[in-house]
Copies of this chain bind each other. A is one copy, B any other.
């Protein structure tokens, strides 16, 4: 048995009474051949190890370099130094693994940039920034499960590989075992997908919603939390080819119930992170403030990160209709000064610049927009009585834009089939989906939350590549 240590986060919270402790971790710094700052990833706070002069031989002293791993046995005592309440007076220090400072990528650069750290993503977890980001990400993910579990939702693992291409949410990746070099062909020369692994053409899912609805029609409330894929050639700070999405789907819900749940949900997971990751968030707030110092005054956030999160916890989201949104935009100084690049009129899909204006300039808080024109929304959204808008809702967040997209679903069979035909969705292939409207259909609703955008919002990280362990983007599939 090797795992006899206590984690540093636990030790830092203990009363120091000289008790013997075993700690293991990686060296963050070593000063005066005497003071080791040790980190084990349980917290960004290092544990100070004090080695009395003469305890360590020459060779060991040389091997205690930044990045090296140690096993230390010692006494936990009150610390006289500033910055920590306790420290460990070492009895023995064993080097478990060396780290050559002349080659260690994290040591070669002084304050490595986020861009550089993306190239060494396999090591960046060891920095304070990414330590904090991924502990917060963990915390948010756990809060997602706890929120839905406590409400009696069933976690449904909807399929990743699918032959359904009807959702129309975006470009898809093909999944195949056919040899690209020389795939089997039918008599007419076309590819013979009957020979493929699944016996038909298959893709990576763009959304688990349609399958989620099948679950909701039995369990009432379900949610998904899994990877989704878009083969879009978007090189932006907000797009990934592979990202994680949370999609709850609720029977007996209308659009208002849907909004209420989404708002409660977002607030719940933020509160969970605030309560469980305060130190990490304070570190990230500090990081963001320093980053923004390099921006001109008018580009800086009006609120600090912690302030922004507290604001979201303590204020209801603004709720407006799409028609309201268009009118606000048309009335805005930005519009009158022709500052918008894209046209503003009823019927347009709101562009990023419009969403940002509404959220960051006009309301200065998260906004839920409902009642979008049917023509710009998916076939499964419920037609409103006006016959031209649907019961869609998007939640827009400051700095991020769309963070949630949802709707009440069209539960009326005839209207749904009509919409599918109008939008050229293949009705025949979707009979399984339509069965939910044939056999005990009920009003129901759901939404999707892009998990990485949520992590961006909570951590203040500007680039979505920095909130997922290993980003997949066009021409990038490393590690």
Stretch from A50-58, A150-158, A418-426 forming part of the interface with B: A150-158
Which listed residue, B141, B159, B176, touches A470 by the CB 8 Å rule?
Answer: B159
Interchain CB contact under 8 A, A135 and B161:
no
Which B residue sits closest to A26, measured CB to CB? B440
Q: Provide the residues of chain B in CB contact with A161, threshold 8 Å.
A: 173, 204, 229, 241-242, 472, 477
CA distance A382 to B68 in the complex (A): 20
Q: Provide the residues of chain B in CB contact with A251, threshold 8 Å.
A: 24, 40-41
CA distance A199 to B478 in the complex (A): 10
A358 in contact (CB, < 8 A): no
Tell which of A157, A438, A439 has the most Cβ of chain B within 10 Å: A439
* Interface size counted on chain A using CB atoms at 8 A: 117
Which B residue sits closest to A437, measured CB to CB? B97
Interchain CB contact under 8 A, B226 and A2:
no
Q: Provide the residues of chain B in CB contact with A91, threshold 8 Å.
A: none
Interchain CB contact under 8 A, A439 and B104:
yes
Which B residue sits closest to A468, measured CB to CB? B157
Interchain CB contact under 8 A, A227 and B197:
no
A267 in contact (CB, < 8 A): no
Interchain CB contact under 8 A, A252 and B24:
yes
A474 in contact (CB, < 8 A): yes
CA distance A372 to B27 in the complex (A): 35
Q: Provide the residues of chain B in CB contact with A244, threshold 8 Å.
A: 157
Interchain CB contact under 8 A, A181 and B175:
no
A436 in contact (CB, < 8 A): yes
CA distance A181 to B188 in the complex (A): 12
Q: Provide the residues of chain B in CB contact with A164, threshold 8 Å.
A: 479
Which B residue sits closest to A181, measured CB to CB? B191
Interface residues of A in 22-51 (CB under 8 A from B): 24-27, 40-42
A145 in contact (CB, < 8 A): yes
Stretch from A213-221, A333-341, A398-406 forming part of the interface with B: A213-221
CA distance A441 to B226 in the complex (A): 32
Closest approach, in angstroms, between the C-beta of A167 and any C-beta of chain B?
A: 13
Stretch from A3-11, A284-292, A307-315, A317-325 forming part of the interface with B: A3-11
Q: Provide the residues of chain B in CB contact with A40, threshold 8 Å.
A: 220, 251
A349 in contact (CB, < 8 A): no
Interchain CB contact under 8 A, B177 and A155:
no
Interface residues of A in 431-479 (CB under 8 A from B): 432-433, 435-443, 468-470, 472, 474-479
User: With contacts A190-B181, A197-B173, A218-B131 known, is A142 near B125, CB below 8 A?
Assistant: no
Interchain CB contact under 8 A, A155 and B141:
yes
Which B residue sits closest to A212, measured CB to CB? B469
CA distance A6 to B41 in the complex (A): 44
Other 9 A-B pairs with CB < 8 A, given A7-B220, A97-B440, A122-B211? A24-B251, A67-B440, A103-B439, A126-B218, A137-B157, A156-B469, A171-B177, A197-B231, A211-B470
A-B contact pairs, 14 of them (CB 8 A): A2-B254, A27-B440, A41-B218, A42-B152, A103-B438, A159-B470, A160-B242, A175-B175, A177-B231, A197-B241, A198-B475, A211-B479, A227-B227, A432-B479
